[in-house]
Every structure is written in C-alpha cells, then in structure tokens.
Structure 1
C-alpha cells in the first residue's frame, strides 16, 4: 500500500476563547495520497479551514497525530514547522497575504530567497509569466486588482515547487470571471509541478474538479465522495 503524503489520526483541535474552551475538530482521521486533489467542503463553522491549518502546521493539534511526507508535525516546534512549510508546502489564502511594501516579483521571490535559492528572482519571474503577470512584476499589491493579487499569491506558493499545495477559499474574494481563471491556474500549477492539492471551498464547480471531496459538519467528517471524473 502506498504511504499517504498527508495522514491525520484522531486529530483534534480545541482553542481557548472568551467563553472558555471551544472544541473545533473532533477525532479527524484522514489520509491524502500523493498527487491527489482533495476538496474540503461544508457549512461555515464546520471546521474546514481549521483542518487545512492543521495539515499545514499553522495550528497545533490538541490531540492525535498529523504526518506529512513521513514527518510528525505534532512533534515539531514552531521553527521546525516553519522550515518544513518553507521546504515542502505552499499555502494560498483567501485574503492573499501579500507583503504590501514589496513588488509582485519580490513577493514571489521571498520564499525562494528564504530557502537559499540563488536564482530566486529568475524563478519568480518565470512563475509570474506562468500566471500571466510578467507585465505587473514591478507593481505593488495596492496597484493590483484582486484577481491579480491572487495570481501573485498562487505564483508565490508554487514557485518553490512544493510537494503539498494548500488553498483556503482561493476564489472566495473574487468575482466569477476571476474565480474561474484562478481555478484554472490552480489546477494548472498542480499538473505542472505534480503537487498534492488540498483546498477549502464553497464553490461546487471547484469541488467537482477534485479527485475526492470530504464534507465536514460540526468539526467531524460527515462523508467522503470519490469523484467519478476529475479534471
């Protein structure tokens, strides 16, 4: 049997809030295969984004284990998790999270520079060309439209050639036209680099393009749908 690239065993997440401790995820057990595209869907508050954050080590599990590429994320400290993400993962957020004082080219080059790539800016320029933004390389985020900012965010996430690409509502802040374009780019980048893609979405069109869809409800896996035909 092939070892999954991501594996969660009885993973739980509880956070302390003003009203006391809140249980967000309850005993999540889930394997993700190499090169699979997995969609996480469900109503608001069902735990989709929290589950994605656990997979990326952006939230620390309260219980259970999470392994990625054979590494136990639950045993790592914040510095080790940051290095692991830098070397193996790309993350795309709904709200872009670009650095406002850096140009598009500099934003894309930053993770490559942090990883020690001497050709960081050349690779960043190539990635911007892939997402159709070579002509905007010298522009700052405030000078870009929402669709353009998300393209830069996609280029930044994919430039280091991650094994795992995580996307949290990547089309959530975009209109239908831009959302469709980002969808095509996201799957194109997956195919180009052979990455495993896990995405949170409310978009039925985006979910239908995934190999498998996991539906969450109240912090638990409600059902899993294997798609008959994935793009």
Structure 2
C-alpha cells in the first residue's frame, strides 16, 4: 500500500523570549493513502504542530517528512508552496476566509492560482456540494460560522487534493453545525479519494477515523483504533 505520509524521527523546537521550547520529540509514523487519521490528546500536546509539519507549514528541527513520496523537509519555501497548492487541502479552525471576497471567489482563488481555466465552475460545484449554492455571492461577514466553515471546506476540496489536513474543523461550531461539518468532511474525502488527517477534541469525529493517534507532551502516547 502506498504511503501518503511518512515521518521519521521528527522533532520540533521553537525559540522564544523564554528560550527554546521543545514541542515534538522523535515522532515516527506512516499514513497509508486513502486512510483517515485522527490526532487527539490534551491541549498543548503538539497535535496542531504535528499537522502543520505534515503540511509543510512548519519546519522540523530534525528528522524527515515525506508527503506522497516527496521529501518536503528538503524543499525551499517556494517549492513547498507549489507542492501544497497542487497536492494538499488545509482546513483551519478559524476559517481564514478572505473577507473582501465572496464565497465563490474564496473557493475559486486557489484554483485560479493553480491555472485552472474552469476555476469558477469548479468552485460553484463545490459550494453546491456543501449546501451553499444560495450563498455563492455572499461575503464571509454575511454568513454564519457554520456556513463559513463550509466555504473553507469547499475551498480545501476544490483542487481535489491527495492530502486533506484539518485542524479542529468543528472547534468553533455548535453541536448541530459540527455534526454537519463532520459529515461533509468525510463526504469530501470519499468523493475525491483523499487521505484525511485531522486534529480534534471530538470523540465522535475521532471514532469515524480509520486510526487514532494520541499525543502527550509532544510524544506519541498510543495508537488506537478508536478514541477512548
């Protein structure tokens, strides 16, 4: 089976005003193509930092990270940006929508940057897939938190990425909207055949993953089939 992600002896330390802080310690793991992995653990355990390393949004202090067979730890910033554009979709807890753009423009922007001539047609199709056909020309401030997160999901899925990374995708939502986002997230994964890795505090969301990895104090605590 093909590896979508492979981390070998990865550590992360960040330098701050109080000195160097060790975030992650000697992480080694493999995620098979098409699998879903939930990253769980207490706050401050390093879950989001690990996800950022997988996406090349943070640089490892040591060790190697291969995404889709490519060593991303050896890439420069520009090459990493292109690799993410062509292969990854990232969903953040705080949405990160561009406030001066409509829902359609927010979803179409990464497609335009990648040179897709049908960017707006594909963006419209993705918005329809997440139930937002009626919000196409609305700006983020005109939408609820749940609707904004659906736009963020559509934006991440529109380029049809091989890797879909989500950081607390339901963290800012109420129970009803959170459940809807969970269904949509897995629906997008199934529709595009992507490998899905997510950080979550939700047992319901973690229980739907093929594998669950628990972190504690920057180390792999245990690997579970389902969340405890």
- TM-score band w.r.t. shorter chain: over 0.9
Q: Deviations over 1:22-56 (max 9, x none)?
A: 11000000000000000000000000000000000
Q: 1:101 is matched with which residue?
A: 100
Q: CA deviation at 1:71?
A: 0.5
State how far apart, in whole Å, the 1-side matches of 2:51 and 2:226 are.
20
Q: 1:191 is matched with which residue?
A: 190
State how far apart, in whole Å, the 1-side matches of 2:11 and 2:82 are.
23
In the TM superposition, 1:106-185 aligns within 5 A as: 106-185=105-184
Q: Deviations over 1:84-110 (max 9, x none)?
A: 000000000000000001000000000
1:52 aligned onto 2:57 = no
Q: 2:199 is matched with which residue?
A: 200
Structure 1-normalised TM-score? 0.97
State how far apart, in whole Å, the 1-side matches of 2:212 and 2:226 are.
7
Name the SS for the 1:96 alignment partner: coil
Name the SS for the 2:3 alignment partner: coil
Q: CA deviation at 1:227?
A: 4.1
Structure 1 segments of 4 or more deviating over 4 A?
A: none
1:7 aligned onto 2:2 = no
State how far apart, in whole Å, the 2-side matches of 1:219 and 1:139 are.
41
State how far apart, in whole Å, the 1-side matches of 2:24 and 2:55 are.
15
State how far apart, in whole Å, the 2-side matches of 1:84 and 1:62 are.
20
Q: What root-mean-square deviation, in Å, do the aligned CA atoms of Structure 1 and Structure 2 show?
A: 0.9
Q: 2:84 is matched with which residue?
A: 85
Structure 2-normalised TM-score? 0.98
The number of residues matched between the two structures is 227
State how far apart, in whole Å, the 2-side matches of 1:94 and 1:3 are.
29
Q: Deviations over 1:105-145 (max 9, x none)?
A: 00000000000000000000000000000110000001110
State how far apart, in whole Å, the 2-side matches of 1:43 and 1:225 are.
15
State how far apart, in whole Å, the 2-side matches of 1:69 and 1:177 are.
34
Listed as ranges, the gaps of 5+ residues in structure 1 are none
State how far apart, in whole Å, the 1-side matches of 2:77 and 2:60 are.
13
